[in-house]
Structure 1
Amino acid sequence: MDHRYIVVEGPIGVGKTSLTNLLTERLGSRRILEVVEENPFLSSFYADRQKFAFQTQVFFLLSRFRQQQELFQQDLFRSVTVSDYLFAKDRIFANLTLASDELALYDRVFEALGPRVPQPDLVIYLQAQLDVLLHRIKKRGREFERKFDAGYLESLTHAYNDFFAHYQDTPLLVVNTSDIDFVHNEDDREDLLKTIANAKSGVQHYTPRSRRG
Structure 2
Amino acid sequence: MNAPPLTVTAPHLRPPVRYIAIEGPIGVGKTSLVQRLAERWSMHGVYERPQDNPFLERFYRDTTRFALPTQLHFALQRAHQVQEVATFHSAGTPLIADFMTQKNDVFARLTLPEDEWQLYRALSARIDAQGPDPELVVYLQASPEVLFSRIQKRAVPMELQISDAYLRALCDAYNEFFYHYDRAPVLTVNAEHLNPLESDADLALLIERMESMRGRKEFFVKGTSL
Structure number with higher relative contact order (C-alpha < 8 Å, ≥ 6 residues apart) = 1
In structure 2, C-alpha distance between the alignment counterparts of 1:207 and 1:184, rounded to whole Å:
17
Structure 2 SS opposite 1:169: coil
Q: Larger Rg: 1 or 2? A: 2
For residue 15 of structure 1, report the CA deviation from its aligned partner: 0.8
List per-residue Cα deviations over 1:98-130 (Å, max 9, x = no partner). Answer: 111111121123344556222110111110011
In structure 2, C-alpha distance between the alignment counterparts of 1:169 and 1:113, rounded to whole Å:
21
**Range with greater deviation from structure 2 (84-93 or 67-76):** 67-76
In structure 2, C-alpha distance between the alignment counterparts of 1:77 and 1:161, rounded to whole Å:
33
Map of 1:1-213 to 2, 5 A cutoff? 1-76=15-90, 78-114=92-128, 116-208=130-222, 210-212=223-225
In structure 1, C-alpha distance between the alignment counterparts of 2:90 and 2:23, rounded to whole Å:
19
In structure 2, C-alpha distance between the alignment counterparts of 1:52 and 1:183, rounded to whole Å:
33
Alignment root-mean-square deviation, CA: 1.6
Count of residue correspondences: 212
8 Å contact 1:6–1:121 — kept in the other structure? yes
Q: What runs of 5+ residues in structure 1 fail to find an aligned partner?
A: none
8 Å contact 1:4–1:77 — kept in the other structure? no
Q: Which consecutive aligned stretches of 4+ in structure 1 deviate over 4 angstroms post-superposition?
A: 112-115
In structure 2, C-alpha distance between the alignment counterparts of 1:21 and 1:179, rounded to whole Å:
20
8 Å contact 1:7–1:85 — kept in the other structure? yes
In structure 1, C-alpha distance between the alignment counterparts of 2:196 and 2:87, rounded to whole Å:
33
In structure 1, C-alpha distance between the alignment counterparts of 2:132 and 2:64, rounded to whole Å:
32
TM-score, reference length from structure 2: 0.88
**Range with greater deviation from structure 2 (136-145 or 51-60):** 136-145
In structure 2, C-alpha distance between the alignment counterparts of 1:30 and 1:22, rounded to whole Å:
12
Of all paired residues, the percent bearing the same amino acid is 36
Q: What runs of 5+ residues in structure 2 fail to find an aligned partner?
A: 1-14
TM-score, reference length from structure 1: 0.93
Which amino acid letter does the alignment assign opposite residue 51 of structure 1? R
8 Å contact 1:88–1:114 — kept in the other structure? no
Structure 2 SS opposite 1:31: strand
In structure 2, C-alpha distance between the alignment counterparts of 1:121 and 1:164, rounded to whole Å:
15
